[in-house]
Amino acid sequence: MSDKPDQAGGQLQDSHHDDVESYGGGYIQAHHGDINGWLLLVYAILWGWALYYGITYWGGLGPGLDY
């Protein structure tokens, strides 16, 4: 990888952050970057819900099947 100076401060940055990877003949493009804060929040909420659901409803045969 080559490093190049940025426009503002003259610090070096990796050029792989500027690269775009193309798939499917250019229909799909992948950029390198950070994950948005709202998406991290959604991941945290879903993880918490999965823990709650797993602890609350763990075991048994399922709803209405306990004999």
Q: What is the DSSP letter of 33?
A: -
Residue 65 lies in a domain: no
Q: Does 62 reside within a domain? A: no
Q: pTM of the predicted model, to two decimals? A: 0.48
Residues contacting residue 51 through CB under 8 Å, at least 6 positions apart: none
Report residue 56's pLDDT band, with 50, 70 and 90 as the boundaries: confident
Number of separate domains in the chain:
1
What DSSP state is assigned to residue 21? E
Average pLDDT over residues 58-63: 69
pLDDT at 46 over 90: yes
Confidence check: pLDDT of 50 > 90: yes
Q: What is the pLDDT of residues 17-44, one digit of tens each?
A: 568 888 998 889 888 888 899 999 999 9
pLDDT of the residue at 25: 87
- Quick check: is 14 in a domain? yes
12-14 and 3-5 beta bridge pairing: antiparallel
- Domain of residue 37 covers 3-56
Residue 34 lies in a domain: yes
